[in-house]
Structure 1
Amino acid sequence: MDDHALDDFLTAAVTEYQLITPEAPLPCFALLLGNAGRGTLHIHRVAFGRNARTSDPAARREFSETIVPRFGPAYENEHRAWWIDSRDLLKASKEADALGLDLLGSIHMHPDWHRLGPPQERRFVLSERPTPMDHHVFSRTAWPINVICYLERRADVFYHALAAWAPPPADAPEDMHCTELPLRVRTRTTVGV
């Protein structure tokens, strides 16, 4: 992953994080644009989009009929989870094509909800590892890479941890989990010759 792509995401994630309240666990989500090579996915940039969770009829139906019954009433909160607006998904796909890139997957933030959330949810500690909901989404989108960025604030300093995940194979059993992928962030620092 190019460091400037990660910087773009972290800037947006920190901005959203600072707006989180116990009632509004604001998400931060972006698409990953890059190239697939032999055994390597190279992420060059991120593309943001709007959350259509409450405005898209398919999203509302998915949450009421599948997500909430399966993953619990916490997902009734319209601020929890992400459903990218289909127009923004199409725009990102066209942008990727124009740049000779592919739409490789997604990146989203997990905040330190055990510190920020309502008291009844503080026992749930998030990290850069997928939640059951993440496993569900990653297997449905079938994108080759999905990155989770755990973001926490201690005093006035932000820290992050990253992990990348591949979805289970299409024919895998429903309860099969995602596979962790090695993730490297390319820096701008060059080595003198």
Structure 2
Amino acid sequence: MTYTYPHTVLIGFDSLKSFTGAARAEYEDCTPEEPPSCFAVLLGTVEDGVAHVVEIEYATNARASDPIATEEFAGTIASCFGAAYRNPRRGFWCSSKDLLRIQRQGERRRLDILGSIHMHPDWHRMGPPAERGLRISEHPTPMDRYMFDNSRYPVNVICYLESTGGKLSAALAAWGPPPEESADAPCPRLTLRFTAD
């Protein structure tokens, strides 16, 4: 049986406010040497092609402490996507303990792990000088595509934060994993809507 991915994602305003608040705090505290890291797991249900995000659960980044993550970033990821990924603050690897906790919490409430939400900063403005030519937005980077392809979660939300004229703004977009049958196909964009909780 072939799994049908959702075409629309519904997420509550309160959940969104919680995430953007955490993302803003990370953004304001980061430096060119220490990029911001904000990631959460999405719990909910899928019905008739619509993913209903019910909860956002934060997780620990095991990127620098999990031996499998360290090996993956040092070997595969850095060689494919650049030396910047040797920085242990670059990229997110969800703690397996947190993922198990979140999965069990979801099962008790009859919710599934739908995917994740993470933040992209305007790194072309605030990152190290050598990386300022890389434009980042709410669209998946090649690294995101790699992670979406490997996790196969149906919903992957990117929250892009940008500072313009002293004001911080956010753009959000939701993406499905790339089609399995095509190695070079882009991630499909999903309709993203916000609801009153």
TM normalised by structure 1 equals 0.93
- Whether the 8 Å CA contact 1:106–1:146 is kept in 2: the answer is yes
- Asked if the contact 2:29/2:36 (under 8 Å) is kept, the reply is yes
What are the superposed Cα offsets for residues 132-183 of structure 1, whole Å, 9 maximum, x if unpaired? 000000000000010000011234432100110000233x232222100100
Alignment partner of 1:110 out of 120, 123, 128: 120
Find 2:111's aligned residue among 101, 121, 124. Answer: 101
Write out per-residue CA displacement over residues 96-152 of structure 1, whole angstroms, 9 at most, x where no aligned residue: 112221110000000011111011111111100000000000000000010000011
Q: Where does structure 2 lack aligned partners over 5 or more consecutive residues?
A: 1-10
Q: In structure 2, how many angstroms separate the alpha carbons of the residues matched to 1:48 and 1:70?
A: 28
Candidates 131, 137, 145, aligned match of 2:155: 145
State how far apart, in whole Å, the 1-side matches of 2:79 and 2:183 are.
Answer: 16
* Distance in 1 between residues matched to 2:75 and 2:134, nearest whole Å: 24
Contact 1:68 1:74 in 2 (8 A): yes
Shift of 1:60: 0.7
Letter in 1 for 2:167: V
Q: Residues 43 and 115 of structure 2 are in contact (CA less than 8 Å); yes or no, is this contact kept in structure 1?
A: yes
Question: What's the secondary structure of 2:29's corresponding residue?
Answer: coil
Equivalent residue number for residue 45 of structure 2: 35
Aligned ranges 1:97-176 → 2 under 5 Å:
97-170=107-180, 172-176=181-185
How far apart, in 1, do the equivalents of 2:157 and 2:20 lie? 12
1:3 is matched with 13
Aligned letter for 1:179?
P
TM score, norm. by length of structure 2 = 0.91
Give identity over the alignment, percent. Answer: 47
Is the 1:13–1:28 contact (alpha carbons within 8 Å) kept by the matching residues of 2? yes
Q: Retained in 2: the 8 A contact 1:20–1:116?
A: no
1:44-55 to 2 correspondences below 5 Å: 44-55=54-65
Equivalenced residue count is: 187
**Alpha-carbon distance in 2 for matches of 1:86, 1:55:** 11
Aligned residues: CA RMSD: 1.2
Amino acid at match of 1:157: K
Unmatched 5+ residue regions in structure 1? 189-193
* Displacement after TM superposition at 1:84 (Å): 0.5
Per-residue deviation at 1:20?
Answer: 1.0
**Alignment check: 8 A CA contact 1:129 1:148 kept:** yes
Corresponding residue for residue 97 of structure 2: 87
Alpha-carbon separation, structure 2, partners of 1:52 and 1:20: 18
Partner of 2:6 in structure 1? none
- Residue identity opposite 1:100 in structure 2: R
